[in-house]
Each structure stands twice: as structure tokens, then as C-alpha cells.
Amino acid sequence: MKKRPIVIIGFIFLFKINFCLAATIPEGIWSGVLNYSGRTWDIGIQLEEANEKLICKFYSTALWRWEYELDSVVYKDNQLMANLPFDIGTLKARFLSDKWEGEVSILNTDKKIPITLFSIKIEEINKVSTVITNGDTKIGASLFTPGKKGSYSLITVIHGAGDSYRETPPIWFLANYYAQQGFACLIYDKRGNGESSGNWRTVDFNTRASDIITCLKWAIQANKQIDKNKIGLMAVSQGAWIADLVAQGFPEVDFIINVAAPLSSPAIADTYALKNELLRGNWNIKDIGERVELWNLSVDVCRNPGDDKYWNKLTDQIEFYRNQAWFQQSPYEPQRYSWFRDWYKLVADFDPMPVLKQLNIPVLWMYGNRDTQSDLADNIAKLNNLKRQLNKDYTLEIFANSGHGVMGPVDEYGNDQNPVTTPEDFFPTIVKWIKSRE
């Protein structure tokens, strides 16, 4: 079983640059705090010598990053300069025997934020990987566990929308972070990604849930230190629909952490997101209504792919709006047949509410107060109804100045005020909630 170093900081960027071997490279992990734009970030770097190359890894919990590759770094005369990702800016620091002193120059501004990085001690974690068979589909999976003795909770991280696999930066980060916190963490490759066969675009949410249940059964069997009474799931956005189905199909699940989870169907949630996107683009209400009408007609085509009636209704309405100013500026020319239409037919009308009514396990619901993709008011109303009518064990956490995925800061319209990070108390809230149930 392989062991990997793990650390509580956030960005990891890997650089391999030639350097002078006569110089002494400050090896180890160095962590500091950056205060900017109303938020506090944790930042860490790790320098190593290997094959006459400089290896520099950069971490940040606030940005869900672990072992993330950076494109350029320079180290000379005890001074380090590195370009940070996400257009954050440049880190410049000088090594002073037991710490790094420097600053981060924020991109496209004249702001220079001081930072001091101190040496920290790392712990070792264990990782075991496998490929599991679910029917005729292979699913790649990895289990991260802490080095401590005794039992521990298991958290399975569930993918959201789009392609994703175990080493997708946020997924990789979460596995390392949770193991460092003393939990086991299970991650896997989504169908058609990494070592997983198949194609997520051709299956419904129930099939994706069955992949995760298969991985869970393997993990529990493979590691006897996992407490079978402390099996949890974590999901963001679209992944929450999958998490609910996993819990329904695998009664051993004891709790769920749902982040930015819509409590409506994908079709309704996507309509809400489209309206907000147009509002941010300064569209007027009339034009928004017309554009949303086309979207709803397009969804009807997805539901009825072989029926000319629905396609003709959509194309007729497109022609009706073609000379409108909004259409000229933002043309809408959908294809009748595409992988998206085939996939959306499978998932568009999935309603999570019947599943949630059936489940009787604790759920931590986490939202940004300015989420433009998941209808916060609707979600809160539904959660409160479930708590009142069915006595659900729900905990609701809403984070200020945060958008979808609880990233921020965002303005009142939901526009990112770059660079965006997770609130400082986001992960501590999760860890505290899990441990309160141990």
C-alpha cells in the first residue's frame, strides 16, 4: 500500500526547472495565510530536489487544489518567484533561514499582499487503487485512509456535471484533505474517464448511482477499519441528485453533505440558471421570456426526439424571433440530434423530492446566498417543509457573498469578483458536522 504526504493547505503546483546544485534548496512544506478581497486563504508550497530539477508544489484549501501543476517558477539566491493559477497573480518570496517572507501581486491590480510562510509538519496517508466491475462497465476507484489506528468514517466524493476523474483537481484535493482530517475518502473515475469504461452521456442518474454503490461495497470490504455505521457522501451541484439515489439504493449510507444542491429537476434548475445568466447580461424581461421559451421548447424536443411536432414547433418559433434584436446578438440554432439531447431525455425530469422524502438520514445542506444556478429560495422552502412535515434531520448552512459551489466573493448579480475562493469556515463546518455525529 503506497503512502503519500498530506497537508492542510491548498494550492499545489508542480514545477520542474533547472537550478544550480550549489545552492541549498529549502526543502519541506511551508504554509501561510493570504488576506484579500474579504477572504482568508491558506497557501502552501513544497520544494524538493530531484534529478537536478526543482520540484515546487503549491497547495490551497480555499481553492480545492492539491498537487496542481504550475507552469513557471524561478528560484535563485534564496528567492522564489511563481505565477499562481486562476489569474491570481505572482508570488515573490525570500527564504530567511526558518521562513519565507514575501508578497503576492494580484493580477491586473496594483495590490501587493504580504505573506509569510512557515514550515509545517506533514502526516502520511495510505492509498489503494483498483478497477471494479459494475455489470459490463469497469470503474476505477481509489481509497485514501489516514495512518492512525482505530476506526474512521468513510466519505465518498461524487462527481458533478461534465467529464471528471480521480485526479480532477477538486476531487484529488478532497481525497487528500479528508484523509488528513482523519477520515477515509473514496474517489472514482466517472464513466468514460480515467480507468472507467462506458460513457456517462448514455446513462441515467440511477446507473451512475449504481457505479458508486459498487465502489462503496469494495471499499468497505477492502478496509476493515472503516466504521460501517459512519458511511457518508459528499456531492456538489448535479452530484447531489446522484448522492440522494446512492443513499436510497445503499441503506448503509449514514449521512450526506450536499453543496449547492438543486431540489428541483435538471430542466427546472437549468431554466433558473439560464434566466440568471441573461439577467447578468443585462437582458430585459421581455427578451428573457422569449429566449427561455425557446429553451423550454428545446427541452420538449429532448423529451420527444422522434416526434416532428415538437421539432417543428421549436423551429417555427425560432423563425418568429429571428429578426428580434436579442436574437441577432445571440443567435440560437440548436441541432435536432446530439448526444446532449439523448442524455437530457434520460435526466431532464428527475425529481429529487420523492427520494428525499423516503430517506431518513442526516444531511448537511450548504449554499451560497448569491447562487445563480440553484434556486436558494425554492430550496430553503422545500427543506423547511421536509423538516416540518417529516421531521428530517437537516442542517442548513448559508454562506455570505458566495455563489454556486459556495465560491466567492460574488456581487449582488452573482458575478465572480476574481479571484474566487471558498469561505474560510466552509471546510471546518463540514469537519465539525461530521465529527459531531461520530
User: What per-residue confidence (pLDDT) applies to 51?
Assistant: 78
Mapping DSSP to helix (H, G, I), strand (E, B) and coil, where does residue 207 land? helix
**Which grid coordinates are listed for 173?**
484535493
CA contacts within 13 A on the Cβ side of 379: 29
Least confident of 154-168, 209-223, 399-413: 399-413
User: Mean pLDDT across the stretch 172-197?
Assistant: 96
State the chain's mean pLDDT as an integer: 90
User: What per-residue confidence (pLDDT) applies to 202?
Assistant: 97
User: What per-residue confidence (pLDDT) applies to 8?
Assistant: 33
Which DSSP state fits 24? P
The domain made up of 126-265+350-435 is a member of CATH 3.20.20.10: no
Cβ atoms of residues 366 and 259 within 8 Å: yes
pLDDT 10s digits, 19-74: 443 457 787 889 999 888 778 888 888 887 777 777 788 888 988 988 887 777 88
Cα distance between residue 71 and residue 16, in whole Å: 9
pLDDT 10s digits, 70-111: 777 888 888 999 888 877 889 999 999 899 999 999 888 899
Give Rg (Cα) of the chain: 24
Determine if residue 362 is left, alpha or beta; phi over 0 gives left, psi from -120 to 50 gives alpha, anything else beta. Answer: beta
| Helix 205-222 / helix 239-249 crossing angle, nearest 10 deg | 60
Q: Name the CA dihedral angle for 428, 377, 160, 361, rounded to a multiple of 10 degrees.
A: 60
Any idea where the domains of the chain sit in the sequence? 2-120, 126-265+350-435, 266-347
- What share of the chain has pLDDT > 90, as a percent? 74
Overall size of the chain counted in residues: 438
Cα distance between residue 305 and residue 350, in whole Å: 18
User: What per-residue confidence (pLDDT) applies to 97?
Assistant: 87
2-120 and 126-265+350-435: identical CATH topology: no
- What share of the chain has pLDDT > 70, as a percent? 95
Side chain identity, residue 78: N
Helices marked H in 96-187 — which ranges? 169-180
Side chain identity, residue 158: I
Q: Name the CA dihedral angle for 274, 279, 283, 288, rounded to a multiple of 10 degrees.
A: 40
User: What per-residue confidence (pLDDT) applies to 2?
Assistant: 41
Structurally, what CATH architecture does the domain formed by 2-120 represent?
Beta Barrel (2.40)
Least confident of 59-63, 153-157, 323-327: 59-63
Cell 458566495 belongs to 402
- Sequence-distant (6+) residues with CB within 8 A of 188 are 139, 140, 141, 142, 166, 196, 211, 212, 215
Higher pLDDT: 231 or 420? It is: 231
Residue 365 pLDDT class (50, 70, 90 cuts): very high
User: What per-residue confidence (pLDDT) applies to 203?
Assistant: 98
